[in-house]
Chain A
Amino acid sequence: MGGGHLGHAGTDGLLIPGSTVVHRAPAQLKIAALLVFVLAVVATPREAVWAFAVYAVVIVGVALVAAVPVLTLLRRLRIEVPFLGFALFLPLLGSSPRVQVLGVSLSQPGLWAAWNIVAKGTLGVSASIILAATTPVAELLQGLERLHLPRALTAIAGFMVRYLDVIVGEANRMSIARQSRGYDPRWLWQARALASSAGTLFVRSFERGERVHLAMASRGYAGSMPELHRRVATANERVAAAAVPLLAVSVCVAAHLVP
């Protein structure tokens, strides 16, 4: 009900609207291309530094074509920082041989391991960021459905997307109601009201689930979601979408042959 506008950033907040070739490509091709690209990157030997340079150029190229500002891309890369923190310890704690960098003794295998994590992680996350920036969530779900992910799973994800705002709105209204009656917990034992609110929220969501089910049954739902998205990709679209993953796979193979 009300409060439905609170969560815009929650679901389609990553989308940068546009009409570039990348935006228009069918979602299932983009997802498949992303998957193959990431697999190729992960399978590349870490010593083939040149290969990672090529991947980075490809990513920046796609970002430019998709009109995703490189600054935005870099800003969104912050999401991987917590994971990289772990990589930073590897050169300090790794085994010998050790090298001296600026007077600090670092482990050489540790350095390679850190590089491996940073390079592959950054490339994979960048590619995902571009996918998220060019594809609305609803289309992503349709793409997964066309890739034959079971419709029960895409439906569950779809419900989550659909009702996130509704449930967040409900939680916000309950929080406002608590505060309006002077609730301001300072100590852990005062948090009882919070716990019972969580229970109430659960019950309300459960009841909503029942009402949604009634609405579905009223429109002929008999246990399986109908197949709604039959649009198949054209040959041209397939070729265009295959360009990036094919390039990545070739680079990966080359890196194995000529380290």
Chain B
Amino acid sequence: MSAGLEIRALRFAYPDGREALRGVDLAVAPGERVAVLGPNGAGKTTLVLHLNGILQPQAGEVVIGGLPVTKANLATIRQRVAIVFQDPDDQLFMPSVRDDVAFGPANAGLRGVALEERVQQALDGVGMGEHVDRAPHHLSFGQRRRVAVATVLAMEPELLVLDEPTSNLDPAARRELAEILDTLDLTQLVVTHDLPYALELCPRAVILDEGRIVADGPTHELLADEDLLARHRLELPRGFQVHTHPHRHGRVVHAHPHGTEPPHHD
């Protein structure tokens, strides 16, 4: 199951007066995978916290699968929307991996064998099935990130939101996480400033800057526009280029967008 997301004219200012969101409009279709790009301080995390009602809109509205995010709907919304936060140490707070993954579904009322099965299924889904009895603080950082994904998958959400999923990951853990996310059949919002990762995972991207969506389009087009990126403090890694060129897979010659570093030119 996957749910669509609709954000209309969303505004939010923190108590100190700082305006974090100044009218955000965004529609995401069910099953779509969209990258939300933006520099630090653009309002990305504030936007994320609106998606499951941790923050309530001061103006505008957020609708998940046809259901507006309001105080009355919070329980349903939080079951539908799964957020993977930046620091897995914030997300994994129980003494064992099993308890942590069970926390969400148990809050939703699941018990006994059904709960056990749900936990095992979620951990198997991120390749951490054999670590069910470990303590979170005994896992590597990449493993903790994957367990963090499992803790929210166990709630069988319809929209998965990842806040800076690649921060602090080494290249192997980064690739493993991408492979896992690629297998998940639900709507995904990947909030990041890791542009190559966005290109790899998401066909569509939006750029959030100063509390507004300033660009929306195919990820490879956005990333090929250097002026656009520069205006919003976004940069591809040095030497990394996005371009379309015809190439060959076995006997098939076709063209699709690529992110390549110079040594890989073919």
- Spell out A's residues near B (CB within 8 Å): 1-2, 4-5, 7-8, 11-12, 137-138, 141, 158-159, 161-163, 165-166, 208, 211-212, 214-222, 226-228, 230
For the complex of A and B, the 4 pairs showing the least CB-CB separation, nearest first, are A220-B107, A226-B106, A219-B104, A138-B95
Minimum CB–CB distance for A134 against chain B, Å: 15
Name the one of B54, B94, B135 contacting A12, with C-beta atoms under 8 angstroms: B135
CB < 8 Å neighbour of A211 from B75, B87, B112, B144: B87
Q: A4, A141, A215, A222: which contacts B90 (Cβ < 8 A)?
A: A215
User: Complex: how many Å from CA A159 to CA B94?
Assistant: 7
Q: Which of B82, B93, B111 contacts A162 (CB 8 A)?
A: B93
Residues of chain B touching chain A, judged by Cβ–Cβ distance below 8 Å, are 49, 52, 54, 75, 78-79, 81-83, 85, 87, 89-96, 99, 102-104, 106-108, 111-112, 115, 135-139, 141, 144, 151-152, 155, 168
Task: Give chain B nearest CB distance to A165 CB in angstroms.
Answer: 4
Q: Are B93 and A212 closer than 8 Å at their CB atoms?
A: yes
Q: What are 18 contact pairs spanning A and B, CB under 8 A?
A: A1-B89, A2-B141, A4-B89, A11-B135, A158-B95, A161-B135, A211-B85, A215-B85, A216-B93, A217-B78, A218-B54, A218-B83, A218-B152, A219-B104, A220-B75, A220-B108, A221-B107, A226-B102
The residues of A that contact B49 with a CB separation of less than 8 Å are: 214
In the complex, which of the residues A163, A212, A214, A228 contacts B99, with contact meaning CB atoms closer than 8 Å?
Answer: A228
**In the complex, are the beta carbons of B103 and A217 less than 8 A apart?**
no
- Report whether A159 and B93 are in contact in the complex, using a CB–CB cutoff of 8 Å: yes
B30 to chain A, nearest CB (A): 21
Query: Per a CB cutoff under 8 Å, which of B87, B99, B103, B152 touches A138?
Result: B99
A20 to chain B, nearest CB (A): 17
Q: Would you give the shortest CB distance from B246 to chain A, in whole angstroms? A: 44
Name the A residues within 8 Å of B168 (CB-CB): 1-2
For B99, what are the chain A residues with a Cβ–Cβ distance below 8 Å? Answer: 138, 228
B135 touches A138 (CB 8 A): yes
Q: Are B155 and A219 in contact (CB under 8 A)?
A: yes
On chain A, the residues within 8 Å of B83 by CB distance are 215, 218
CB distance from A157 to the nearest CB of B (A): 9
Assuming the contacts A165-B137, A212-B93, asked whether A219 and B87 have C-beta atoms less than 8 A apart, the reply is no
Name which residue of chain A comes closest to B152, CB basis: A219
Q: A211 to nearest B CB, angstroms? A: 4
Cβ A217 vs Cβ B54 within 8 A? yes
How long is the Cα–Cα vector from A162 to B137 in the complex, in angstroms?
7
Residues of A within 8 A of B81 (CB): 218
Q: In the complex, what residue of chain A is closest to B148 when comparing beta carbons?
A: A215
Residues of B within 8 A of A12 (CB): 135
Please, how many angstroms separate the alpha-carbon atoms of A227 and B137 in the complex? 22
B203 to chain A, nearest CB (A): 27
Nearest-CB residue, chain B, relative to A164: B137
Minimum CB–CB distance from A4 to chain B (whole Å) comes to 5
- Given A1-B89, A138-B99, A158-B94 contact (CB < 8 Å): yes
- A1–B93 Cα distance when bound, in Å, is 13
| A215–B151 CA distance with the chains assembled, in angstroms | 10
- Among residues of B, the one whose C-beta sits closest to the C-beta of A7 is B137
A1 touches B85 (CB 8 A): no
Q: Decide: A162 and B95 in contact? CB cutoff 8 A.
A: yes
Which chain B residue has the least Cβ–Cβ distance from A138?
B95
A5 to B137, CA, bound (A): 7
Q: Kindly name the residue among A158, A219, A222 whose own CB sees the greatest number of chain B CB atoms within 10 A.
A: A219
Alpha-carbon separation in the docked complex, A217 to B168 (Å):
24
Answer whether A222 and B107 are a contact pair too, CB < 8 Å, given A165-B137, A214-B85, A228-B99. yes
Q: Are A230 and B111 in contact (CB under 8 A)?
A: yes
Residues of B within 8 A of A215 (CB): 83, 85, 90-91, 93
With A214-B85, A218-B78, A219-B152 as contacts: A226 and B103 at CB distance below 8 Å: yes
* Complex-state Cα separation, A246 to B85, whole angstroms: 50
Chain A residues lying within 8 Å of B95, measured Cβ to Cβ, are 137-138, 141, 158, 161-162
Give the chain B neighbours of A228 by CB distance below 8 A.
99, 102-103, 106, 115
Given A1-B141, A158-B94: A219 touches B151 (CB 8 Å cut-off): yes
Kindly state the separation between the CA atoms of A215 and B104 in the bound complex, as whole angstroms: 10
Q: How far is the CB of A208 from chain B (nearest CB, A)?
A: 6
Which residues on the A side are within 8 Å of B141 (C-beta)? 1-2, 4
Assess whether B137 is in contact with A166, with CB atoms less than 8 Å apart: yes
Nearest-Cβ distance from residue A125 to partner chain B, whole angstroms: 24
Residues on B with beta carbons closer than 8 Å to the beta carbon of A230: 111-112
Could you say which residues of chain A place their CB within 8 Å of the CB of B93? Answer: 159, 162-163, 212, 215-216
| Whole-angstrom distance between the Cβ of A93 and the nearest chain B Cβ | 46
- The smallest beta-carbon distance between B20 and chain A, in angstroms, is 15
Given A138-B99, A215-B91, A220-B78, A162:B85 Cβ within 8 A: no
